Amino acid sequence: MRSKVVRPALAGLFGVLCTPSVVQAGPAVQAEPGAEEAAVFVIRAAELHLRPGEVRENTSVLVRDGRILQIGADIAPPEGAQVIEGAVVCAAFIDPWSALGVDGPTLIDTSLVESARTSDALDFFEGDHLRAEALRAGVTAARLQAGFKGKNCGLGAVARLDPELDDPSAAVLLDDADLAMSVGLSVQRQASFQRMPDGSFQLVSGDAAMDVFDRIGAVDSVVSAIESGASYRKAEVEFRYELEEWEKAIAEKVEELEDDFKKAKKDRDKDIEEAEEKGKEFKEKKYKEDKKPRKPRFDADKAELARVAEGEIPLIVEVHRSAEIRKLLADTERFSRLRLVIAGGSEAGTCAEELARRRVPVIVWPSLRGTQAKDEFEGAKLSLAAELAEAGVEVLLGTGGRDGEATRDLPLLAQLAVGHGLDREAAFEALTLGAARTFDVADRLGSVEVGKDADLLVLDGPPLGPSTRVQYVFCGGRLAVTPQDQ
């Protein structure tokens, strides 16, 4: 079924003269509340995918000012609304592991601290064509993370990939969506001469695999970081409690002293006189309550780790090898509120049951790696997503967070995972609601629901269908892609 656009008010006049197209007054503008030219659309879907597993036929969606206002069988288009008809309509895709828009040097910074914000390193003026391509492929938002090579990757940001939004403050939906770390990635090795089998010497550089002791140590490092966050929060809570107690005690003591005020004053004056007579220094009487509880010193990094320990933001750990994954799971079990997410997990298939039991989602990066791949990817296989999903693990699909250009290929990688056994519905959920939920933006993205942002796709076939083409893309309520752009 071909999607087409109809403008009801002018259809009669211009229908014969104009080819069916989207008629927009001037350049597309991000609609602001109260603006005169509010962007209003009615999208009529033959098949509306509200959320994974819930499909309604012949249903319309009303979009205004960037939001989904109404979903129903018969929606009368308001004055000035643009009507779009589509075979299939669903929520737009989210890349939960992307680098699109992250400044280059920041992406490879290995010395970031926990409180570093990815949103401070975003450059949305460059690479517009990449964001446009991502949109055309149906990916409208992504979790961006700095410093993937280092132990600490700082606080990640969830942002829209709209090329019209140059200012991160407009594009970023959540600038502290998560804290990320990495364990056991190959490290930069200094270039050195190595002897080749044929006797010649060759300058060899590049990354070297971390040795096993360092890798295990890296897991310890992550766990002690969480522990320090937990202690920091505990100290904060204890301080508040002690402060409250102290203030209460002060109030009580003041009240007590008020009663004996005259007597106490007389005693104090007598003591001062005595001290002057004897030539001794007068010492004020000290009370136990004089000691005010000391506020713990503010530590920006520990403050973020505290949020992680308390489960306020998820902790994303990129880790690939079986031993490290197991150790990470075992050592973090005692943090009952921790929201752990594993990124990569190349060998996670070996502990799928444990991951399912602990409800730890895994962001799988389906990748075509040859024999030159880094050591940590040795156990990687394209059937990983399918194996984990089969064991009951929540699977997300991402593009690896190293190469911004890869985000455009997220739907193809999802198809690759499906071709190696992942259930198509699970793949669709991974790209939409699963990603939104994990990064706490499910109130705005991930499904077609009243009140959520209008990030929608109009397709000519099922989402992730092999020959399905994306026809229209709504990004934050703006009609960003039309069939003419494809």
Partner 1 sequence: MFNGLIVAALAFLPGEVDAPKPATLARTLAFRADVVYRGDGTSIDDGVILVKEGVITQVGSGLEIPEGAAIVDHDGAISAGLIALHSEDGAGAELYDSTRIVLAEAEARHAFAPEHADFDRALAAGITALVLAPSSSSLIGGQSAVVKTSGGRVVKPAAQLALSLSRDALHTNRFPTSYAGAIEELERRFGEPEGPVARAASGSLPVLIDVNDRAETLRAIGFAQRFGLKGALYGSYWAEEIAPQIAGSGLDVICTPFDVGDDSRSARAVVALAKEGVRLGFGLDAPERHPGSLRFGAAACVRAGLETAKARKALTGDAAAIAGVAGRIGRVARGLDADLVLWSGDPVALTSSIQAVYVDGELVHGGSK
Residues that bind partner 1 (CB under 8 A): 133, 137, 367-372, 382, 399, 403-406, 408-409, 412-413, 415-416, 418-421, 424, 464-467
432-437, Cβ contacts within 8 angstroms, sequence gap of 24 or more: 432/51, 432/52, 432/90, 432/91, 432/92, 432/93, 432/94, 433/51, 433/52, 433/91, 434/52, 434/361, 434/394, 434/395, 434/396, 435/94, 435/95, 435/96, 435/143, 435/396, 435/398, 436/94
Edge-to-edge strand list for the sheet holding 395-397: 93-98, 139-144, 152-160, 172-182, 315-319, 340-344, 362-364, 395-397
Q: Least Å distance between CB 362 and partner 1?
A: 19
Q: Among residues 56 and 136, whose Cβ is nearest to partner 1?
A: 136
Q: Which of 152, 168, 98 is nearest to 439 (CA)?
A: 98
Helix (H) or strand (E) holding 354: helix 352-357
Q: Least Å distance between CB 19 and partner 1?
A: 20
Q: Among residues 116 and 388, whose Cβ is nearest to partner 1?
A: 388
Q: Which of 464, 467, 444 is nearest to 455 (CA)?
A: 444
Q: Least Å distance between CB 96 and partner 1?
A: 16
Q: Least Å distance between CB 135 and partner 1?
A: 13
Q: Among residues 393 and 427, whose Cβ is nearest to partner 1?
A: 427
Burial class for 265, CB neighbours closer than 10 Å (0-12, 13-18, 19+) = exposed
Q: Among residues 119 and 407, whose Cβ is nearest to partner 1?
A: 407
Q: Least Å distance between CB 137 and partner 1?
A: 8
If you write DSSP's letter for every residue of 380-431 in order, what string do you get?
--TTHHHHHHHTT--EEE---SS-GGGGGGHHHHHHHHHHTT--HHHHHHII
Q: Least Å distance between CB 435 and partner 1?
A: 18
Q: Least Å distance between CB 451 and partner 1?
A: 33
Q: Least Å distance between CB 304 and partner 1?
A: 30
Q: Least Å distance between CB 462 and partner 1?
A: 10
Q: Among residues 392 and 465, whose Cβ is nearest to partner 1?
A: 465
**Alpha carbons 339 and 361: distance in angstroms, whole number:** 9
| 212-259 and 261-278 helices, crossing angle to 10° | 100
How far is the first Cα of the chain from the last one, in angstroms, to the nearest whole number? 17
Q: Among residues 41 and 377, whose Cβ is nearest to partner 1?
A: 377
Residue with tokens 């999208």: 43
Q: Among residues 111 and 371, whose Cβ is nearest to partner 1?
A: 371
Q: Among residues 384 and 464, whose Cβ is nearest to partner 1?
A: 464
Quickly count: other Cβ atoms within 10 Å of residue 194's Cβ. 10
Q: Among residues 231 and 367, whose Cβ is nearest to partner 1?
A: 367
